[in-house]
Amino acid sequence: MPLADLAPATDQPGLVDAYVPLADCFDEMRTADGEVRPHWQYLLDALRTLGPAGIEERWREASRLIRDNGVTYNLHGDPQGISRPWELDLLPLVIRSEEWAELERGLIQRAELFNLILLDLYGPRDLIRLELLPAELIDGCAGYLIPCHGIEISGGQPLVHYAADLTRLPDGRWQVIGDRTQSPLGAGYALENRVVLSRVLPSLFRDSHVHRLAGFFRSMRRTLTRIAPQRGDDSRVVVLTPGPKNEAYFEHAYLANYLGYTLVQGGDLSVRDGALWLRTLGRLERIDAVLRRVDDIWCDPLELREDSLLGIPGLVQATRAGNVALANALGSGVLENDALMAFLPQLCQHLLGEELALPHVPTWWCGDAESRAQVLENLDHLIIKPLSASRGRPPLEPGAMGTEARKRLIAAIQSQPGEYVAQERVHPSTAPALIGQRLEPRPTVLRTFLIAEEESYAVMPGGLGRLALSQENLGVSSQLGGLGKDVWVLASEPERQESLMPAGDVLMTPAVVQESAVSSRVADNLFWIGRYAERAEGLVRLLRITIFKYAERSDFPLSQATSSCLRSLLEALTNQTQSLPGFVGAGAEERLRHPVPELLSLISDRTRPGSLPQTLQALGQAAYSVRDRMSADTWRVIGNIESLQASLAEHPPQQLSQALDELDPLVTALVAFSGLTLENMTHNEGWHFLEIGRRLERGSTVASLLLSTLVPVSSEQDETMVIEAVLGVTDSLITYRRRYRGGTRVGALLDLVFRDEGNPRALAYQIAMLQKLAVELPRGDLAVGRTLTDKLVLRSLTEIRLAEIDHLIQVDPDEMRRVALAKMLTDLSDGMAAVSDAITAQYFRHEEQPHSLLRRNEPALP
């Protein structure tokens, strides 16, 4: 509903009027005189119109979108781990278009300057020869990579992607407080912030005439294509990520999806014949450009850091040969040296012939005698940064040190002056944040993003705002748990809708087909997503039926038939999950008499192997590893499954009736996930492995269930109850009732659940599907005839088709067991395990991220 259509609400004194800016710093919304800045007025009027209820509703909607979209940012040591949701302030940071144009010019100048410095440092080194930069400062910097010296950069733009952190001085001028030149983080989060706010405040966003972001990402895609040695629409670009445990993995996957690139890890790539290749299933694909999200030093264990598990051996050599382009070029981390700021004004005058437009935080490098003396005289008013300290480590504050610590710091500076840089303490400007029902000032930092173009640089119109959580905390960092903030640059007229889709006559050109390649790592994770999803669904179905039967036994304690059925189902649970001893190992009789604690443990104990929470957690981890392969709808379902899993583990049900309330929506979510992967996921190589994993797991689950329930022989009444339970678990009860009119019989059940290739829950259906899928798996160029996988699947399918139901249901009078059925099901289980092993050996790389597979041997039956 448009804001203009809302009835005017009573002004809330607590929302705007009570907003008091902090002293001695610039505030984005109010002037020093307390007046609201004109370009904020429309936004504040809209908030007043919305009222507390409307603001609360928009906040809840934004939180839901972030949760459903799986937007995460991992704080080191946070108990939520990789599932920690991104936190976004509902109020944007608003900047006038005229002011932004001036800021753009300063940012472009800074990016051009850094690019020229980078070209010189890894080329002629004239800046050092002319003593504009001290050799000690550069050569002693950990970010200066000697193996990268002399590498020629096509197009002369080693700095492809640049970001600058800004805040304001008390007089309102922008000041640079940090430069990001290796793999700048945050552009994806800025885009997601925009998506969320434009959804929850659509009228406000539209009427404010906010500059769009799509043009920036279109420039990024053009640039990455341009820098590729094999220029053209058929050049292949990948996004290199450290992996799912990186704090910004969401952004890596998000950008890969948005730009249409393949997300890869170091182990997916290989250097051969001086070129970079992506290891896909059965072949290699040439990579022309890499948008890297791995820091310089970790990119090549051969020439950079030998203990790196994130990089690609030989990458430096491939770059040196000009066969692959990196964004950014290796060695660009030298520009993040804080001491470099002290020399930028004279470098700008020398290289560009002009004054540095954007001021930065005053900086002194202690390696210079005059600067060192000034630092030691004013130590109380400065912060000290050891250049060898890792980024993110808090600086030293001499003014807050004790006498002895201060003396040790002075001695260290005097003994190794080149290792220290001093800066004035930064007091960030503030911006309003919605805290409860009030607007309160919070220290704010703006991260801006630039991408190289043929002649200069393009600036993202906006960026990523970051707020400190408290007014007292002047450190603004995502790793400190701050809030994200969308940045609105207001245009003077409505903005044209933009997207990454090509426009105009480009659509008339022939399409370039470039299927997203599937590496062995991706195939491995998709395979296990299929297995874990099916394992969880099968376990939930069995748990529900078991709980129903237990409730029946509680109502009718003398019903021996129900108790016998329950015993079979409880044993099936242990055999299926391999959660020994459970209901079949030592102490089983006592647990069979009192099964509730064991059942609740399987439902809610996340530390127990084979339990439902552990299976769901494994599903989430595997899905997170390939989240760039998941659609937004699919990821929302995964998020729902994770929420249900967290609820089970954090608030364990105390009674089985409570557990049913949790299991019912869980099975619905798992079925929805299966449906989405079947109907919405392109049936390419990756889908084949997911579906193979699903079919193998369902086949193993059905075989285990039949072994536990039909092999032991009991009375006719007992078997009737068991058969009904099996039909309930396999969701085949309605079909059974319609097809077989002669009552519940073991032979009819086997015909439907064991041999019927048209029943999606039948064992034969799983094997038949495996045969179709196995034929379509990638094969090597030299492969002739049937593969081992083909042979194993064909053997199992033939055994089922040749099996005689009348023979399988025969009972051995001595053992009171269906021995032939037990042998058949055991052979089929072993066959499916062999198929899994054959696929793993042929396609997957075990050393990267092994998964645990519970071997489904013949269960211990009474």
Lowest-pLDDT range, 375-379, 510-514, 681-685, 805-809?
510-514
Q: Is 528 helix (H, G, I), strand (E, B) or coil?
A: helix
Residue 51 has a pLDDT of: 86
Question: Which residues lie below 8 Å from residue 494, measured CB to CB, with a gap of 6+?
Answer: 206, 209
395 and 450 assigned to the same domain: no
Of the pLDDT bands very low, low, confident and very high (cuts 50, 70, 90), residue 2 is very low
Instruction: Read off the pLDDT band of 80 (50, 70, 90).
Output: low
Quick one: what percent of the chain has pLDDT higher than 90?
A: 67
Res 412: pLDDT:
94
Neighbours of 183 (CB within 10 A): 24
What pLDDT, on a 0 to 100 scale, did the predictor assign at position 231?
Answer: 65
- Say whether pLDDT at 81 is over 80: no
Query: Are 807 and 752 in contact, with CB atoms under 8 Å apart?
Result: no
Looking at residues 15-43, what average pLDDT do you find? 88
Q: Same structural domain for residues 199 and 134?
A: yes
Cβ neighbours of 242 (radius 10 Å): 22
The answer to whether residue 850 scores a pLDDT higher than 50 is no
Q: Residue 484 forms beta bridges with which residues?
A: 88, 466
Examine the domain organization and report whether 379 and 464 are in the same domain. Answer: no
Q: Amino acid letter at 498?
A: E
In whole angstroms, give the CA distance from residue 437 to residue 665: 34
Residue at 549 is within a domain: yes
**454/527 same-domain check:** no
Q: How many residues does the chain have?
A: 862
Task: Flag whether 76 is in a domain.
Answer: no
615 shares its domain with 471: no
Residue 492 pLDDT: 75
Q: Which two tokens stand for residue 831?
A: 């066959």
Mean per-residue pLDDT, 585-605: 92
Q: Are 246 and 223 in contact (CB under 8 A)?
A: no
Residue 394's domain comprises: 362-424
**85 within domain boundaries:** no
The predicted structure's pLDDT at residue 215: 93
- Whether 695 and 757 have beta carbons less than 8 Å apart is answered as no
Shared domain for 760 and 737, answered yes or no, is yes
Q: Rounded mean pLDDT of 261-269?
A: 94
Q: Which of 704, 720, 710 is nearest to 821 (CA)?
A: 710
Of 261-265, 650-654, 749-753, 836-840, the range with the lowest mean pLDDT is 650-654
pLDDT (mean) for 482-499: 80
Is the CB of residue 847 less than 8 Å from the CB of residue 736?
Answer: no
The residue out of 403, 424, 445 marking a domain boundary is 424
The structure tokens listed for 845 are 């790389």
- Based on its alpha-carbon atoms, the radius of gyration of the chain, rounded to whole angstroms, reads 32
Contacts of 407 (CB under 8 A, 6+ apart): none
Mean pLDDT of 746-767: 95
Are 552 and 598 contained in the same domain? yes
CB count in 10 Å sphere of residue 810: 12
The pTM of this model reads 0.88
**CATH code for the domain in which residue 404 is found:** 3.30.1490.270
Q: Tokens for 520, please give them.
A: 């062995």
535 and 677 inside one domain: yes
Q: Count how many domains the chain has.
A: 3
pLDDT at 47 over 70: yes
Is residue 632 one of the residues assigned to a domain?
yes
Q: Is 172 within the bounds of a domain?
A: yes
pLDDT > 70 in the chain, percent = 88
User: For 187-203, what is the HEC assignment?
Assistant: HHHHHHHHHHHHHHCHH
Q: Which of 424, 439, 458 is the last residue of a domain?
A: 424
Token duo for residue 809: 């249901």
Burial category of 651 from C-beta neighbours within 10 Å (exposed 0-12, middle 13-18, buried 19 and up): exposed
Q: Is the pLDDT of residue 557 over 60?
A: no
Predicted confidence (pLDDT) per residue in 184-224, tens digit: 999 999 999 999 999 999 999 999 999 999 999 999 999 99
Contact 161, 327 (CB under 8 A): yes
Q: What pLDDT shows up at residue 508?
A: 42
| 294 token code pair | 């791995």
Stretch among 64-68, 374-378, 742-746 having the lowest mean pLDDT:
742-746
Higher-scoring residue by pLDDT: 258, 391: 258
Residue 441 sits in the same domain as residue 558: no
How far, in whole angstroms, is CA 273 from its chain's centroid?
33
Q: Answer whether residue 860 shows pLDDT above 80.
A: no
- Cβ–Cβ under 8 Å, residues 328 and 290: no
Find out whether 153 and 119 touch, Cβ atoms under 8 Å. Answer: yes
Task: Answer yes or no: is pLDDT of 77 > 70.
Answer: no
Distance of CA 496 to the CA centre of its chain: 31
Task: Report if residue 258 sits inside a domain.
Answer: no
pLDDT the model gives residue 115: 97
Q: What is the pLDDT confidence band of residue 716, given thresholds at 50, 70 and 90? A: confident
List, as one string, the DSSP characters of 390-455.
PTTSPPB-GGGS-HHHHHHHHHHHHHSGGGEEEEEPP---EEEEEETTEEEEEEEEEEEEEEE-SS
Q: Quick one: pLDDT at residue 436?
A: 75
Gap between the terminal Cα atoms of the chain: 66
pLDDT at 7: 35
Helix (H) / strand (E) element for 176: namely strand 174-180
pLDDT (0 to 100) of residue 556: 46
Q: Residues 624, 720: one domain? A: yes
State how far the Cα of 214 lies from the Cα of 208, in Å rounded to an integer.
Answer: 17
Convert 378-417 to b/e letters by CB count within 10 Å (16 or more is b). Answer: ebeebbbbbbeeeeeeebbebeebeeeebeebeebbeeeb
Verify that 443 and 402 share a domain, yes or no. Answer: no
Cα 11 → chain centroid: 41
- Tokens representing residue 213 in the block: 């972001």
Mean pLDDT, residues 752-760 taken together: 96
User: Is residue 861 included in any domain, yes or no?
Assistant: no
Is-contact 679 671, C-beta < 8 A?
Answer: no
Q: Which residue in 256, 237, 240 sits closest to 330, CA to CA?
A: 240
Tell me what the pLDDT averaged over the chain comes to: 88
262 is a domain residue: no
Query: CA dist 378 to 371, 398, 418, 422, 738, Å?
Result: 11, 10, 18, 10, 90
Two structure tokens written together for 219: 């420039």
- State residue 458 phi and psi, 5-degree precision: -105, 140
- Tell me what pLDDT residue 856 has: 43
Q: Is the pLDDT of residue 27 over 70?
A: yes
Instruction: Inform me whether the pLDDT recorded for 327 exceeds 70.
Output: yes
Confidence of residue 680 (pLDDT cuts 50, 70, 90): confident
State whether 737 and 803 are in the same domain: yes
